[in-house]
Structure 1
Amino acid sequence: MTALALATLGACGGDPYAGYCDRVKSHRDELTRTLDAGGPQALLKALPTFEQLRDGAPSDIADDWKTLTTALTHLRDALQAAHVDPATYDPAKPPAGVTTAERDRIAAAATEVGADRTRAALAAVDQQARDVCHAPLTL
Protein backbone atom coordinates (compact mmCIF):
# COMPACT_ATOMS: atom_id res chain seq x y z
CA MET A 1 0.00 0.00 0.00
CA THR A 2 2.85 2.40 0.74
CA ALA A 3 4.34 1.80 -2.71
CA LEU A 4 0.99 2.61 -4.32
CA ALA A 5 0.69 5.82 -2.31
CA LEU A 6 4.22 6.90 -3.25
CA ALA A 7 3.59 6.12 -6.91
CA THR A 8 0.38 8.15 -6.83
CA LEU A 9 2.10 11.09 -5.15
CA GLY A 10 4.95 10.94 -7.64
CA ALA A 11 2.54 11.01 -10.55
CA CYS A 12 0.63 13.98 -9.12
CA GLY A 13 3.56 16.02 -7.89
CA GLY A 14 6.14 15.10 -10.50
CA ASP A 15 7.53 17.25 -13.25
CA PRO A 16 4.69 17.83 -15.75
CA TYR A 17 7.27 18.28 -18.53
CA ALA A 18 9.28 15.11 -17.84
CA GLY A 19 7.50 12.86 -20.32
CA TYR A 20 7.48 15.52 -23.02
CA CYS A 21 11.16 16.27 -22.48
CA ASP A 22 11.97 12.56 -22.67
CA ARG A 23 10.20 12.43 -26.07
CA VAL A 24 12.05 15.53 -27.29
CA LYS A 25 15.38 13.97 -26.33
CA SER A 26 14.51 10.56 -27.80
CA HIS A 27 13.57 12.09 -31.18
CA ARG A 28 16.44 14.57 -31.38
CA ASP A 29 18.86 12.37 -33.37
CA GLU A 30 16.13 11.34 -35.81
CA LEU A 31 15.00 14.95 -36.34
CA THR A 32 18.59 16.05 -36.82
CA ARG A 33 19.17 13.45 -39.56
CA THR A 34 15.86 14.23 -41.25
CA LEU A 35 16.23 18.00 -41.24
CA ASP A 36 19.96 17.96 -42.06
CA ALA A 37 19.16 15.96 -45.20
CA GLY A 38 17.45 19.14 -46.35
CA GLY A 39 15.54 19.49 -49.52
CA PRO A 40 11.98 20.61 -49.95
CA GLN A 41 10.64 17.48 -48.31
CA ALA A 42 12.67 17.62 -45.08
CA LEU A 43 9.93 19.20 -42.99
CA LEU A 44 7.36 16.83 -44.50
CA LYS A 45 9.53 13.86 -43.57
CA ALA A 46 9.73 15.24 -40.04
CA LEU A 47 5.93 15.59 -39.81
CA PRO A 48 5.28 12.18 -38.15
CA THR A 49 7.82 13.01 -35.45
CA PHE A 50 6.39 16.50 -35.04
CA GLU A 51 2.94 14.95 -34.65
CA GLN A 52 4.19 12.65 -31.89
CA LEU A 53 5.73 15.59 -30.06
CA ARG A 54 2.56 17.65 -30.57
CA ASP A 55 0.41 14.86 -29.14
CA GLY A 56 2.41 14.83 -25.91
CA ALA A 57 3.11 18.55 -25.70
CA PRO A 58 2.35 20.52 -22.55
CA SER A 59 -0.50 23.01 -22.84
CA ASP A 60 1.78 26.05 -22.96
CA ILE A 61 3.28 24.97 -26.30
CA ALA A 62 0.40 22.91 -27.74
CA ASP A 63 -0.92 25.72 -29.97
CA ASP A 64 2.50 26.23 -31.55
CA TRP A 65 2.81 22.51 -32.28
CA LYS A 66 -0.69 22.58 -33.77
CA THR A 67 0.18 25.56 -35.99
CA LEU A 68 3.30 23.82 -37.29
CA THR A 69 1.77 20.41 -37.88
CA THR A 70 -1.41 21.82 -39.44
CA ALA A 71 0.58 23.80 -42.00
CA LEU A 72 2.70 20.77 -42.89
CA THR A 73 -0.34 18.51 -43.04
CA HIS A 74 -2.06 20.85 -45.50
CA LEU A 75 1.03 20.81 -47.73
CA ARG A 76 1.37 17.03 -47.53
CA ASP A 77 -2.31 16.58 -48.35
CA ALA A 78 -2.17 19.00 -51.29
CA LEU A 79 0.83 17.21 -52.77
CA GLN A 80 -0.74 13.79 -52.26
CA ALA A 81 -4.03 14.90 -53.80
CA ALA A 82 -2.15 16.06 -56.90
CA HIS A 83 -0.14 12.80 -56.94
CA VAL A 84 3.19 14.62 -56.97
CA ASP A 85 6.45 13.85 -55.21
CA PRO A 86 7.50 16.70 -52.90
CA ALA A 87 11.15 15.96 -53.64
CA THR A 88 10.77 16.66 -57.34
CA TYR A 89 7.78 18.98 -57.57
CA ASP A 90 8.62 22.22 -59.36
CA PRO A 91 5.81 24.78 -59.21
CA ALA A 92 7.21 26.53 -62.28
CA LYS A 93 7.02 23.28 -64.25
CA PRO A 94 4.41 21.05 -62.63
CA PRO A 95 4.05 17.51 -63.94
CA ALA A 96 1.50 16.81 -66.65
CA GLY A 97 -1.92 16.20 -65.21
CA VAL A 98 -1.63 18.61 -62.29
CA THR A 99 -4.62 20.90 -62.55
CA THR A 100 -4.63 24.63 -61.91
CA ALA A 101 -6.70 24.03 -58.79
CA GLU A 102 -4.15 21.49 -57.51
CA ARG A 103 -1.27 23.88 -58.23
CA ASP A 104 -3.10 26.66 -56.41
CA ARG A 105 -3.76 24.41 -53.42
CA ILE A 106 -0.10 23.35 -53.27
CA ALA A 107 1.05 26.97 -53.58
CA ALA A 108 -1.30 28.11 -50.81
CA ALA A 109 -0.14 25.31 -48.52
CA ALA A 110 3.53 26.00 -49.25
CA THR A 111 2.93 29.68 -48.48
CA GLU A 112 1.35 28.66 -45.18
CA VAL A 113 4.41 26.55 -44.30
CA GLY A 114 6.71 29.47 -45.05
CA ALA A 115 4.53 32.06 -43.34
CA ASP A 116 5.75 34.08 -40.38
CA ARG A 117 3.19 32.39 -38.13
CA THR A 118 4.46 28.89 -38.96
CA ARG A 119 8.12 29.88 -38.72
CA ALA A 120 7.40 31.53 -35.36
CA ALA A 121 5.69 28.35 -34.14
CA LEU A 122 8.71 26.24 -35.10
CA ALA A 123 11.02 28.70 -33.35
CA ALA A 124 8.77 28.64 -30.27
CA VAL A 125 8.71 24.85 -29.94
CA ASP A 126 12.47 24.72 -30.38
CA GLN A 127 13.04 27.50 -27.84
CA GLN A 128 10.69 25.87 -25.37
CA ALA A 129 12.56 22.56 -25.75
CA ARG A 130 15.82 24.41 -25.05
CA ASP A 131 14.44 26.34 -22.07
CA VAL A 132 12.35 23.65 -20.39
CA CYS A 133 13.96 20.40 -21.54
CA HIS A 134 17.48 21.82 -21.79
CA ALA A 135 17.71 20.13 -25.18
CA PRO A 136 17.16 21.57 -28.65
CA LEU A 137 14.90 19.70 -31.07
CA THR A 138 17.96 19.00 -33.21
CA LEU A 139 21.67 18.77 -32.55
Structure 2
Amino acid sequence: MSLLKLCSQFLLALFFSFFAFQNCAPFEAMQGESIYPFTNKPNFYSDLQVVRTEVDDLKRENFVLDLAASWVLDPAQEINYTILYSTLAQRGVCNPTQGTFNNINNHIRAQCKLPVVTDLYIRLELEGPNGVSEAREFRF
Protein backbone atom coordinates (compact mmCIF):
# COMPACT_ATOMS: atom_id res chain seq x y z
CA MET A 1 0.00 0.00 0.00
CA SER A 2 1.26 3.36 -0.78
CA LEU A 3 1.88 5.87 1.96
CA LEU A 4 -0.61 8.29 0.43
CA LYS A 5 -3.42 5.72 0.48
CA LEU A 6 -2.60 4.77 4.09
CA CYS A 7 -2.66 8.42 5.23
CA SER A 8 -5.94 9.08 3.43
CA GLN A 9 -7.57 6.02 5.07
CA PHE A 10 -6.33 7.17 8.49
CA LEU A 11 -7.68 10.69 7.98
CA LEU A 12 -11.00 9.31 6.72
CA ALA A 13 -11.33 7.06 9.81
CA LEU A 14 -10.43 9.99 12.06
CA PHE A 15 -13.04 12.16 10.33
CA PHE A 16 -15.83 9.58 10.79
CA SER A 17 -14.90 8.86 14.41
CA PHE A 18 -15.07 12.61 15.10
CA PHE A 19 -18.70 12.73 13.94
CA ALA A 20 -19.62 9.42 15.58
CA PHE A 21 -18.71 10.63 19.07
CA GLN A 22 -20.33 14.06 18.97
CA ASN A 23 -22.44 15.16 21.94
CA CYS A 24 -26.04 14.99 20.78
CA ALA A 25 -27.46 16.73 23.84
CA PRO A 26 -29.38 19.97 23.29
CA PHE A 27 -27.31 23.12 23.49
CA GLU A 28 -27.57 25.05 26.74
CA ALA A 29 -26.27 28.59 26.91
CA MET A 30 -23.98 29.38 29.81
CA GLN A 31 -25.41 31.58 32.52
CA GLY A 32 -22.94 34.30 33.43
CA GLU A 33 -22.98 37.31 35.69
CA SER A 34 -23.12 40.79 34.35
CA ILE A 35 -19.96 42.82 34.76
CA TYR A 36 -22.17 45.81 35.57
CA PRO A 37 -22.80 45.69 39.35
CA PHE A 38 -26.04 47.67 39.44
CA THR A 39 -29.35 46.08 38.53
CA ASN A 40 -31.15 49.39 38.94
CA LYS A 41 -30.21 53.03 39.32
CA PRO A 42 -28.74 53.86 42.76
CA ASN A 43 -30.31 56.60 44.89
CA PHE A 44 -27.08 57.62 46.61
CA TYR A 45 -23.52 58.19 45.58
CA SER A 46 -21.17 57.26 48.39
CA ASP A 47 -17.51 56.48 48.80
CA LEU A 48 -16.00 55.15 52.03
CA GLN A 49 -12.26 54.82 52.49
CA VAL A 50 -10.67 53.38 55.63
CA VAL A 51 -7.08 53.73 56.80
CA ARG A 52 -5.79 51.58 59.67
CA THR A 53 -2.88 52.95 61.72
CA GLU A 54 -1.20 52.02 65.00
CA VAL A 55 -1.67 54.74 67.61
CA ASP A 56 0.17 53.83 70.82
CA ASP A 57 2.42 51.44 72.74
CA LEU A 58 -0.58 49.31 73.70
CA LYS A 59 -0.90 48.44 70.01
CA ARG A 60 -4.35 49.93 69.75
CA GLU A 61 -5.40 50.62 66.22
CA ASN A 62 -6.93 53.76 64.88
CA PHE A 63 -9.37 53.35 62.01
CA VAL A 64 -9.79 56.64 60.14
CA LEU A 65 -12.79 56.76 57.82
CA ASP A 66 -13.33 59.26 55.04
CA LEU A 67 -16.91 59.30 53.80
CA ALA A 68 -18.39 61.32 50.97
CA ALA A 69 -22.03 60.92 49.97
CA SER A 70 -24.79 62.72 48.10
CA TRP A 71 -28.27 62.17 46.69
CA VAL A 72 -27.95 61.19 43.03
CA LEU A 73 -30.95 63.11 41.69
CA ASP A 74 -30.18 66.35 43.54
CA PRO A 75 -26.74 66.74 45.17
CA ALA A 76 -28.04 69.78 47.11
CA GLN A 77 -30.60 67.57 48.89
CA GLU A 78 -29.83 66.81 52.53
CA ILE A 79 -29.20 63.19 53.47
CA ASN A 80 -28.63 61.73 56.92
CA TYR A 81 -25.86 59.25 57.58
CA THR A 82 -25.03 56.86 60.40
CA ILE A 83 -21.84 54.82 60.71
CA LEU A 84 -21.98 51.83 63.08
CA TYR A 85 -18.96 49.80 64.22
CA SER A 86 -18.91 46.18 65.38
CA THR A 87 -16.86 42.98 65.47
CA LEU A 88 -17.98 39.37 65.34
CA ALA A 89 -17.94 39.28 69.14
CA GLN A 90 -19.39 42.68 70.01
CA ARG A 91 -21.65 45.40 68.64
CA GLY A 92 -21.03 49.07 69.21
CA VAL A 93 -17.27 48.83 69.69
CA CYS A 94 -17.05 52.57 68.95
CA ASN A 95 -19.64 55.31 69.27
CA PRO A 96 -21.81 55.67 66.17
CA THR A 97 -21.02 58.58 63.88
CA GLN A 98 -24.13 60.48 62.77
CA GLY A 99 -24.80 63.64 60.84
CA THR A 100 -26.29 65.28 57.78
CA PHE A 101 -24.76 65.93 54.37
CA ASN A 102 -25.85 68.84 52.18
CA ASN A 103 -24.54 70.70 49.14
CA ILE A 104 -21.99 72.62 51.27
CA ASN A 105 -20.77 69.72 53.38
CA ASN A 106 -20.75 66.26 51.82
CA HIS A 107 -17.58 64.85 53.39
CA ILE A 108 -16.68 63.74 56.92
CA ARG A 109 -13.71 62.14 58.60
CA ALA A 110 -14.47 59.82 61.52
CA GLN A 111 -12.29 57.55 63.61
CA CYS A 112 -12.57 54.48 65.79
CA LYS A 113 -9.77 53.42 68.20
CA LEU A 114 -9.70 49.75 69.16
CA PRO A 115 -7.43 47.05 70.50
CA VAL A 116 -6.03 44.95 67.67
CA VAL A 117 -8.96 43.39 65.82
CA THR A 118 -9.11 41.17 62.80
CA ASP A 119 -12.77 41.62 62.04
CA LEU A 120 -14.05 45.19 62.11
CA TYR A 121 -17.44 45.58 60.47
CA ILE A 122 -18.64 49.01 59.42
CA ARG A 123 -22.28 49.59 58.54
CA LEU A 124 -23.10 52.75 56.60
CA GLU A 125 -26.74 53.84 56.66
CA LEU A 126 -27.92 56.65 54.38
CA GLU A 127 -31.38 58.22 54.48
CA GLY A 128 -32.60 60.62 51.82
CA PRO A 129 -35.85 62.44 51.13
CA ASN A 130 -39.23 60.70 51.38
CA GLY A 131 -37.80 57.98 53.62
CA VAL A 132 -35.59 56.46 50.93
CA SER A 133 -32.76 54.66 52.71
CA GLU A 134 -29.87 52.38 51.94
CA ALA A 135 -27.42 50.39 54.06
CA ARG A 136 -24.01 49.07 53.07
CA GLU A 137 -21.68 46.87 55.10
CA PHE A 138 -17.91 46.68 54.92
CA ARG A 139 -15.44 44.33 56.61
CA PHE A 140 -11.88 45.27 57.51
Same fold, TM-score > 0.5, yes or no: no
Please identify which structure carries the higher strand content. Answer: 2
TM-score range, shorter chain: under 0.3
TM-score relative to the length of structure 2: 0.21
Please identify which structure carries the higher helix content. Answer: 1
TM-score relative to the length of structure 1: 0.21
Query: Which structure is higher in RCO with an 8 Å CA cutoff and minimum separation 6?
Result: 1
Whichever of the two has the greater Rg, that structure is 2
